[in-house]
Amino acid sequence: MAAAESDREVPSALCTEFLNFSVKDTASKWLQVTDLYKEVYHHLARYVPKIYCLGPNLNPQSEDLLAQMLLQAPLEWYLCGEDPSTGLAKLEQNNQPSQLCGHVFKVGEPTYSCRECAADPTCVLCMQCFLGSVHKEHRYRMTTSGGGGFCDCGDTEAWKKGPYCQKHEPNISDSCQEDPLAHLSTDMIARCYNVFSVVLKYAVDMLTWDKEDELPLGLEPPDRSDTYYCMLFNDEVHTYEQVIYTLQKAVNCTQKEAVSFATTVDRDGRKSVRFGDFAFCELAKSVIVRNTSRQSKPLRVQVMHSSVVAHQCFALKALHWLGHVIGYSDALRRILCQVGLERGPEGENSSLVDTLMLCDSKMWKGARNVYHQLFMSSLLMDLKYKKLFAIQFAKNYRRLQTDFMEDDHERVVSVTSLSVQLFTVPTMARMLITEENLMTTIIRTFVDHLRHRDLQGRFQFERYTAQQAFKFRRVQSLIGDLKYVLISRPTEWSDQLREKFLEGLDTFLELLKCMQGMDPVVRQVGQHIEMEPEWEAAFTLQMKLTHIISMIQEWCATDERVLIEAYKKCLTALTHCHSGFADGEQPITLSMCGHSVDTIRYCVSQEKVSIHLPVSRLLAGLHVLLSKMEVAYRFPEQLPLSELSPPMLIEHPLRCLVLCAQVHAGMWRRNGFSLVNQIYYYHNVKCRVEMFDKDLIMLQAGASMMDPNHFLIIVLSRFELYHIFSSADCRKRYNRENANKDVVQQNNTLTEEMLHLIMMVVGERFEAGIGQVEGCDEIKREILHQLCIRPMAHSELVKALPENENKETGMERVIDCVASFKKPGVTGRGLYELRPECAKQFNLYFHHYSRADQSKAEEAQRKLKRQNGEDTALPPPVLPPFCPLFASLVNILQCDVLLGMLGAVLQWAVEPSAGHWSESMLQRVLHLIGMALLEEQQQLENSSEDNDVYFNFTLKMSRPGEAPSNTASVLALLENLQNAPHLEVHEGMIRWLLKTVAGIKTMRERSASTSTVTTSGSRGQEETACDKDKAERKRKAEMARLRREKVMAQMSEMQRHFINENKELFQQSLEELDASTSTSLEHSPASSDAALACVGPRRSRPREKRQVVTCILCQEEQEIRADGKAMVLAAFVQRSTVMSKNRTRPPHDPKRYDPLFMHPDLSFGTHTGSCGHIMHSHCWQRYFEAVQAKEQRRQQRLRVHTSYDVGNGEFLCPLCECLSNTVIPLLPRTMGSSSCEQPGLGQWLKTSGQQIKAMHSAHRKLQPVSTVEETVEEECPVPEVFTVDYIPTNPYSSTIKEMLATFGTATYKVGLKVHPNEQDPRIPIMCWSSCAYTIQSIERLLVDEKKPLFGSLPCRQDDCLSSLARFGSACWTAACQPTVQGHFIRLLAALIPDPQVEASPCILDVDMLHLLVSVVLSYGSVHSQDSSGLSVDAVQLHLFHLITVAHMVQILLTSGPEEVTMEQESGEAERGEEEGACRLYNTLRTHVGSSLPEVGSGWHLWRCVKTGILPYLRGAALFFHHLHGVPAPPELHALCPGQWEVLCGYLSLPSNLLQLFHGQQELLEPLLHGWCTHPGIQQTLQGGGVLVSFPRESNSLIDLPDDYSALINQASSFTCPKSGGDKSRAPTLCLVCGSMLCSQSYCCQTELEGEDVGACTAHTFACGAGVGIFLRVRESQVLFLAGKTKGCFYAPPYLDDYGETDQGLRRGNPLHLCHERYRKIQKLWRQHSITEEIGHAQEANQTLVGIDWQHL
Ligand SMILES: [Zn+2]
Ligand SMILES: [Zn+2]
Ligand SMILES: [Zn+2]
Ligand SMILES: [Zn+2]
Ligand SMILES: [Zn+2]
Ligand SMILES: [Zn+2]
Ligand SMILES: [Zn+2]
């Protein structure tokens, strides 16, 4: 790669030309010439190579500027005949803006479709139009655009209602379609015509130009140089990585440049990667080709002359220019359309538009995009030319599609994708069908591309190569086109349309014939199948065609003549198919129960059978239409009914259903999964409408035309059960049959399946045309049966229902009739529940139930009945009557063969022999009897008296069996079974049947009179219900046990191990989880009479109490003692920015950062949390070592990640699996000695001054000599009671000491992000800081959650705070004494000036709670050397008071100007406070001067102090409470008024805080002076630093818009910040700070700690100290990230109207913000639980662990 010249100057030669160039002169010259074409070409030949592509680094701005001046301006002048600025304005005035919006969608932009008014789902609106349309009040769908396509606003054909938004509403005046050219002068038209012809011709010439080194005639440059580009083209074969790697090698560029090249190639389709002479470029080309030819096919590279590239660049510009110019005027647009479609010299299909289309697949992506856009803004926006264009498109259709098959680009950049814009317009589609025979063309093109056939001419998909699979995917887009053409059904038929549609149908039948019988299977016996046969391709085809087949039926349903012809054609096709594969089947005669039938010998289990029968199924669909449209009754003479052979019709569908039954019966196990999958899809909601459902209909159609006995005999024979039921003594078969157990089992299942099939043939009447039902009854019944299983969410129901071609289920119309909606809570989703009155329509044998559904529904419905105190029998529901064409089907229920079968099964049930019959079999027989009885009852009820009811099942069931001897009747058998003890479960049903029989008999007896017989539905007797309850309870207990076991099994191996060892204890500890850990702590105030104080010499001393805890690992009890075994609390330490008031502060340098003082902006803190589980330190150590060892073994074995990083000290709490990374030792509370007189403030200040001096000099002695000499100061007298070199005895046992070091090191390591170093002096500081930060964060949380300060925290947080505070006060024992003393000295120096301490911070830069905690906790190291009897408590109180005063000063300094509010009436007490505040403020002003504004109102100042200091006081109360264990006063356990006084009392403070200052003014005045004169004060107050005002507000997550599409819109205009103006693929919003990021993309990867990370991970380190909360806008998904390796997805806070989230934005229902859920996420964040949440999510779902989170 040549060196970069960053700012390329415009070559001087061009400059002079530019100066001499006159636009007007050029244009005038052109106006005179006769051959404009030659002149313009000459001009372009001269200038284009001088403007474009002059070097390796293109400079688009200056190129465009020059092109505008030298090239476009003369064209515009010529066009207008005058200065374009006036000419174009004139044109614009006369412009009739198109009624069409035509807004072209960007990638990711939201689009809206109205589910009520859109003609089809491809009709969409842009956001602007949608908001101004009527549809926003309708049911709509929202999606994100994949780019391309445009807004259909204004297209009257696209919308059934409201086609215009407010903006595009046409004026009434210009409703007449006048010619837009009428406004233009003929001159103008001519000029326009000329210039468009030339420019468009030029663009087409250049874009379709394929020579690398030459130019078209007339464009050769006057002088040629040896300058070339090495141009790299994009393909869909090579990956980003391959291209980047190759480029680095071939053109020797950096990784970053290579990424940029690859990104551009991917976006624009090509990019020059090298510039230079020919040989130089050739070299790069050969390297690239060589490097990539090993993988499949080499990357495409061309070495192109610079002038060729230049002209191509300008050609694209020219197209842009055309698009721009026609935007001025609809007239110009029309002229451009005319020019484009004008037939060229080569005759038909040679217009410029044709040329572009036909060269589409040869052009690079960028060029295609540009000309497609021009088509959209010209041809598609002009209704007249849109039609002409559509015709050309249809004429070229076949060739375009063929080119597309060879093209390796995605469809969105292919011109073929324009079909959606043309074919979905109904009038256009109809015109193209009739005039261009489009339907036939599409289908034929499709069939021609599927070349692989077997000997019978059927498709053969086996042995498919990757290349063929690729083509197969491409060819599917043709089905999409066919769908567009058919999507709107014609309202009127012309003869020509009929003719062409039927011609199309012929072609379609040819296609279906190729599918009929494809992928046949043969049952595998003996060995298991060796290779799973290919099946997916065939099913993909079937699935894609499903809607087409349905739509063709719907077209037929709109015209009787078409239907009749279609029926005939389909029947012919089916007959043709059958003649092909019926050979070798021998005729046979079967007889049974006195009936015999001729059929063929055929066994599904032995011969070939196929699941693909689309021709039969289409015929079945049409047959139903004959009935539905009553054609069968009105024109029977026109129908080929006599040609129908019912046995032929049912044969193949029956085989298919038998195949399913046999698979269920386990007979096809050796055929592998491919068959199981096929059977699954056959019944699946995506396919069943045109597979299973139609097979059933075909059986119904066939059976309705046959003798029912014959039908049943054939069914028995195909099920291979004929021999069982036909034998003379079939009722006794099992007594003597010693068949193989498997075979018996198989036959049982087959019998069950067959009985079910008979039920379905007779009972499925909910399709209009079969039964007498309304259109929506079918869908109602589907929903009802889904809800009988359990209440369901909207999306679950949608998934369970078939969608039509418009992606609608029709559910919304009927759902309210069958269900009621229950809203969701903060978790979960909204559910639909079945209306109770609908339960009686429940059919246990609903044909779309799987076996699992069936048993779930049965259980649910029985439970429901029991709850209502009803009999639990589930009799069949009452059915609607059949339509006449199918009416004879009911006779199946009373035919001899069926009664024979029913009798046989009942007989087997009476005398059961193990395993030879099944309860399901009996249950089905009872159901069938029930159906028959209901049928009879219905007919009786509906018949008029004189009309004899022909259906008489009660009569037949009472007759004894015929052959061989007199056997019991069905009725007798039923009565016999009624009390059989082994059939308890069926008792209710049998009782119901007998009762119904009795009812019918009464009806018949009373038939003379008008009979009003109450319907059935007997209520059960109680005694059996009771028994059943018992059984049910037992069964439930068993279920619960199984469930428990399953849950246990899912737990991690380690934990299982642990539980097994401690089984009962585990149970126990779970129950006592909270109780056990905190028995030692008092939460209730001990004595409320004495005022409680938590700090100072007067602090209350709670009674001594042994503190005993239980180790969760060994279950031993242990007392907490300083000299005892160490007990530890599992803890998780993390960095945090949750409370940050300054997210712009750069992260500290961990090596040099001094954390002693926390800045009040709290920009980075260290938070410690705990799950509250306590262990022995040695138990924990053993556990952790085991985890480590296991992890090592695991890493060796397989490279799987865990949710925790052992190397980093992480582990899961052994009890609750909470992520932890260290442990905190539990320490006893320190016992302050209540002692005698304590010094006052003045006395103490003096003493401590002396002590500090003593320590200074002692420390100096420790230091190397050189530094000692610098400070020459006299030794001060050391107080005798203060021994500097006294080394106190360490009170702690060795294990506690060890744990003190462990936790200290962990906090230090995590808090500073450094490697552990036990010697680092910053360790204690980090621990104090973490204690203070955690207290502050909990205090904020309590405020945000509106909870009282005490008593509302979970025990685990109480325990955690206590151990943190006590740890802090003990940690000096683990560190070097002088170091901690040094910290104390420096901390104190911030308050009491100490000349020996340098660089003390100004008090505006110190967070006072951090200072308080650190100074109190570090004091221990000083006190240990004091034997004067000075009590720690006294010192703590002095320190506390001093810091409180400092904080008040801090607040007053930052209080800001007075707000204009009404001054309140103040009482006596307040007046004192206000006055005090004023006095202090004025004192401050005397020190600070004019930087402080004058404030007159004491009320304002006092209010500032009071509100500003409250969080600090609350934090201090929490701190001292946990440090000393003093119970809090009861008032602080509630949110009652008067908290302030109680709080001050608890803290030993006067409630008028200003007394702290005024009471000791002489002592404090000098300190005040010191604070105020610190140079930092002036600097900060004058805006030099970060000024934080108090109280600090809690941080919240950003505000989100209510409507989710607003976010999508925002994200769609977001461009990647790194790759100039590109759309980001995964725009992701940081919910903490609101930044939008370009996630999951190469372009925005950055390096972080030596690793490439994505934009989100990088952002978390700056914004959230490693923790991040994002919203992935395209996915509608919340993303949690922690560190580089942890992450999980979380449900977004957006819900649709059905109370469901839409992760992945697949359903497209409008989404609105759910505030509760968003608050829940915010709470997780505020309480530092994000990492924990991720840990739990990853433990629950192991696949989350494998994701490369750092690349997001
Ligand atoms: Zn629009
Ligand atoms: Zn509009
Ligand atoms: Zn609408
Ligand atoms: Zn233990
Ligand atoms: Zn735990
Ligand atoms: Zn952020
Ligand atoms: Zn990016």
Q: How far is the CA of 1111 from the centre of ligand 4 (A)?
A: 5
pLDDT at residue 812, as a whole number: 85
Q: How far is the CA of 795 from the centre of ligand 1 (A)?
A: 29
Q: Which ligand is nearest to the CA of 1616?
A: 7
Q: How far is the CA of 331 from the centre of ligand 2 (A)?
A: 21
SS3 state at 628: helix
Q: How far is the CA of 367 from the centre of ligand 1 (A)?
A: 25
Mean pLDDT of the chain: 84
Torsion on CA atoms 1727, 1730, 1731, 1732, rounded to nearest 10:
70
**What is the sign of the dihedral through the CA atoms of 996, 997, 998 and 999?**
positive
pLDDT (tens digit per residue) in 1133-1188: 999 999 998 888 887 888 888 889 999 999 889 999 999 899 999 999 999 998 88
Q: How far is the CA of 166 from the centre of ligand 2 (A)?
A: 7
Q: Which ligand is nearest to the CA of 1076?
A: 5
Q: Which ligand is nearest to the CA of 1355?
A: 5
What average pLDDT does this structure show over 421-441? 93
Q: Residue 383 above 80 pLDDT?
A: yes
Provide the pLDDT confidence category of residue 1260 given band limits of 50, 70 and 90.
Answer: confident
Q: How far is the CA of 1635 from the centre of ligand 6 (A)?
A: 6
Q: How far is the CA of 162 from the centre of ligand 3 (A)?
A: 7
Phi–psi pair at 1694, nearest 5 degrees: -110, 135
pLDDT (tens digit per residue) in 1291-1346: 888 888 888 888 988 999 888 888 888 888 899 999 999 999 999 999 999 999 88
- DSSP for 848-863 reads T--HHHHHHHHHHHHH
Q: Which ligand is nearest to the CA of 1663?
A: 6
pLDDT at residue 218, as a whole number: 87
pLDDT (tens digit per residue) in 196-231: 999 999 999 999 998 888 888 888 888 888 889 999
Apex 994 CA angle, 991 and 996, nearest 5: 105
What average pLDDT does this structure show over 1689-1704? 91
pLDDT at residue 1169, as a whole number: 93
CB within 5 A of ion ligand 1: which residues?
101, 103, 126, 129, 151, 153
Q: How far is the CA of 471 from the centre of ligand 1 (A)?
A: 35
pLDDT at residue 772, as a whole number: 93
Q: How far is the CA of 1212 from the centre of ligand 6 (A)?
A: 28
Q: How far is the CA of 1175 from the centre of ligand 5 (A)?
A: 10
Rounded CA-CA distance 572/566 in Å is 10
Question: Residue 1360: in which H helix or E strand, if any?
Answer: helix 1355-1370
Evaluate the omega torsion of the peptide bond into residue 964 and state whether it is cis, within 30 degrees of 0. Answer: yes
Q: How far is the CA of 171 from the centre of ligand 1 (A)?
A: 17
Residue count of the chain, please give it.
1752
Q: Residue 5 above 60 pLDDT?
A: no
Q: How far is the CA of 923 from the centre of ligand 6 (A)?
A: 63
Q: Which ligand is nearest to the CA of 263?
A: 7
Tokens of 1582: 């004058």
pLDDT at residue 1630, as a whole number: 95
Report CA-CA distances (Å) from 150 to 372, 375, 378, 895, 1568.
12, 12, 13, 62, 70
What Rg do the C-alpha atoms of the chain give, in angstroms?
44
Provide the pLDDT confidence category of residue 1 given band limits of 50, 70 and 90.
Answer: very low
Q: How far is the CA of 1073 from the centre of ligand 5 (A)?
A: 9
Q: How far is the CA of 152 from the centre of ligand 1 (A)?
A: 7
Q: Which of 11-20, 237-246, 677-686, 1413-1422 shows the lowest mean pLDDT across its residues?
A: 11-20
Place of tokens 């059915």: 879
pLDDT (tens digit per residue) in 300-323: 899 999 899 999 999 999 999 999
pLDDT at residue 125, as a whole number: 94
Q: Which ligand is nearest to the CA of 165?
A: 2
Place of tokens 């059904």: 489
Report CA-CA distances (Å) from 724 to 26, 651, 730, 830, 901.
100, 21, 6, 51, 10
pLDDT at residue 1022, as a whole number: 41
Q: How far is the CA of 1598 from the centre of ligand 6 (A)?
A: 10
Q: Looking at residue 274, what DSSP letter applies?
A: E
Q: How far is the CA of 366 from the centre of ligand 1 (A)?
A: 25
Q: Which of 94-108, 122-136, 196-210, 1660-1674 shows the lowest mean pLDDT across its residues?
A: 94-108
pLDDT (tens digit per residue) in 806-824: 788 888 889 999 999 998 8
Q: Which ligand is nearest to the CA of 1670?
A: 6
Provide the pLDDT confidence category of residue 1278 given band limits of 50, 70 and 90.
Answer: low
Q: How far is the CA of 124 from the centre of ligand 1 (A)?
A: 8
Q: Residue 1085 above 50 pLDDT?
A: no
Q: Which ligand is nearest to the CA of 1177?
A: 4
Q: Residue 645 above 90 pLDDT?
A: no
| Higher pLDDT, residue 965 or 425 | 425
Nearest CA among 468, 476, 559, 573 for reference residue 515:
573
Q: Looking at residue 1603, what DSSP letter applies?
A: B
Q: How far is the CA of 163 from the centre of ligand 2 (A)?
A: 8
Question: Residue 546: in which H helix or E strand, if any?
Answer: helix 536-556
Nearest CA among 693, 694, 653, 699 for reference residue 889:
699
pLDDT at residue 1231, as a whole number: 64
Report the DSSP beta bridge partners of residue 1712. Answer: 1603, 1695
Q: How far is the CA of 393 from the centre of ligand 2 (A)?
A: 27
* Residue 422 buriedness (CB in 10 A; 0-12 / 13-18 / 19+): buried
CB within 5 A of ion ligand 4: which residues?
1111, 1113-1114, 1176, 1179
The region that residue 695 occupies, defined by phi over 0 for left and psi between -120 and 50 for alpha, beta otherwise, is alpha
| Higher pLDDT, residue 1620 or 318 | 318
pLDDT at residue 206, as a whole number: 93
Tokens of 1374: 């683990």
Q: How far is the CA of 1090 from the centre of ligand 6 (A)?
A: 50
Q: How far is the CA of 1407 from the centre of ligand 7 (A)?
A: 39
Q: How far is the CA of 129 from the centre of ligand 3 (A)?
A: 12
Q: Which ligand is nearest to the CA of 1211?
A: 5
Half-sphere exposure of 1083 (CA within 13 A, CB side): 15
Q: Which of 182-186, 692-696, 814-818, 1067-1071 shows the lowest mean pLDDT across its residues?
A: 1067-1071
Q: How far is the CA of 1654 from the centre of ligand 7 (A)?
A: 9
Q: Which ligand is nearest to the CA of 1658?
A: 6
Provide the pLDDT confidence category of residue 895 given band limits of 50, 70 and 90.
Answer: very high
Q: How far is the CA of 205 from the centre of ligand 1 (A)?
A: 33
Q: How far is the CA of 1732 from the centre of ligand 6 (A)?
A: 20
Asked whether the beta carbons of 1684 and 1747 are under 8 A apart, the reply is: no
pLDDT at residue 1356, as a whole number: 86
Q: How far is the CA of 1607 from the centre of ligand 2 (A)?
A: 21
SS3 state at 453: strand
Q: How far is the CA of 773 from the centre of ligand 5 (A)?
A: 60
Asked whether the beta carbons of 147 and 141 are under 8 A apart, the reply is: no
> Per mean pLDDT, which of 45-59, 1016-1030, 1635-1649, 1707-1721 is the most reliable?
1707-1721
Q: How far is the CA of 418 from the centre of ligand 1 (A)?
A: 18
Q: How far is the CA of 333 from the centre of ligand 2 (A)?
A: 20
Q: Which of 874-883, 1261-1270, 1417-1426 shows the lowest mean pLDDT across its residues?
A: 1261-1270
Q: Which ligand is nearest to the CA of 140?
A: 3
Q: Residue 193 above 80 pLDDT?
A: yes
- DSSP for 1594-1631 reads PP-PPP--SBHHHHHHHHHT-B-TTTTTPBPSSEEEET
Provide the pLDDT confidence category of residue 1245 given band limits of 50, 70 and 90.
Answer: confident
Q: Which ligand is nearest to the CA of 1614?
A: 7
Q: Which ligand is nearest to the CA of 1065?
A: 4
Q: Which ligand is nearest to the CA of 98?
A: 2
pLDDT at residue 11, as a whole number: 52
Q: How far is the CA of 131 from the centre of ligand 1 (A)?
A: 10
Q: How far is the CA of 1308 from the centre of ligand 6 (A)?
A: 25
| Higher pLDDT, residue 508 or 1405 | 508
Q: How far is the CA of 1682 from the centre of ligand 6 (A)?
A: 13
Q: Which ligand is nearest to the CA of 1644?
A: 7
pLDDT at residue 7, as a whole number: 41
Q: How far is the CA of 817 from the centre of ligand 3 (A)?
A: 23
Q: Looking at residue 835, what DSSP letter applies?
A: -
> Per mean pLDDT, which of 11-15, 60-64, 1597-1601 is the most reliable?
1597-1601
* Residue 145 buriedness (CB in 10 A; 0-12 / 13-18 / 19+): buried
Asked whether the beta carbons of 1601 and 1514 are under 8 A apart, the reply is: no
Rounded CA-CA distance 701/575 in Å is 16
Q: Which ligand is nearest to the CA of 1615?
A: 7
Report the DSSP beta bridge partners of residue 595. Answer: 592
Nearest CA among 259, 313, 112 for reference residue 1622:
259
Q: Residue 1058 above 50 pLDDT?
A: no
Half-sphere exposure of 550 (CA within 13 A, CB side): 22
Q: Which ligand is nearest to the CA of 1181?
A: 4
Provide the pLDDT confidence category of residue 1067 given band limits of 50, 70 and 90.
Answer: very low
Rounded CA-CA distance 1480/1558 in Å is 8
In single-letter form, the type of residue at position 1694 comes to: Y
Q: Which ligand is nearest to the CA of 159?
A: 3
Q: How far is the CA of 1713 from the centre of ligand 7 (A)?
A: 28
Rounded CA-CA distance 405/399 in Å is 10
Q: Residue 1447 above 60 pLDDT?
A: yes
Q: Residue 141 above 70 pLDDT?
A: yes
Q: Which ligand is nearest to the CA of 1183?
A: 4
Evaluate the omega torsion of the peptide bond into residue 1147 and state whether it is cis, within 30 degrees of 0. Answer: no
Nearest CA among 422, 314, 425 for reference residue 376:
422
Q: Which ligand is nearest to the CA of 1662?
A: 6
Q: Which ligand is nearest to the CA of 149?
A: 1
pLDDT at residue 944, as a whole number: 66
Q: How far is the CA of 104 from the centre of ligand 1 (A)?
A: 8
Provide the pLDDT confidence category of residue 1063 given band limits of 50, 70 and 90.
Answer: very low
Asked whether the beta carbons of 1612 and 1585 are under 8 A apart, the reply is: no
